[in-house]
Amino acid sequence: QVQLVESGGGLVQAGGSLRLSCAASGRTFSSYAVGWFRGAPGKDREFVSALDTSGDTTYYAGSVKGRFTISRDNAKNTVYLQMNSLKPEDTAVYYCAATQRGIGQMISSSYNYWGQGTQVTVSS
């Protein structure tokens, strides 16, 4: 059992940067792989990034590769998404998710736990 809370979203100009954080309440968070997805409320969520329990193996959607970096600090029960060179098409609600599968997953249905999302808006 784990609960996730995202933070760090906001309004930024194109070309700017944001760092999203996802804080987990579970005592065994280090055993979960984590991921980030994005989309509008009530819409299908697009895969953004994921990483394994160790934090050493990462996965990225082609649209963000080279611009976004996912990481985790298991001692702090927190996962991060550093977003650089932001584009207007990055505008969305961003969600963090966790799965007990142990390795990063690229399909939203693979995740058992979800945060409520944080809004990211990129102006042109």
What is the distance between the terminal CA atoms of the chain, rounded to a whole angstrom? 40
Distance CA 89, CA 30 (A): 32
pLDDT tens digit string along 95-105? Answer: 999 998 878 78
Distance CA 19, CA 81 (A): 6
Strand 10-13 relative to strand 118-123, pairing? parallel
pLDDT tens digit string along 51-97? Answer: 998 888 999 999 999 999 999 998 899 999 999 999 999 999 999 99
In the predicted model, is pLDDT for residue 7 greater than 90? yes
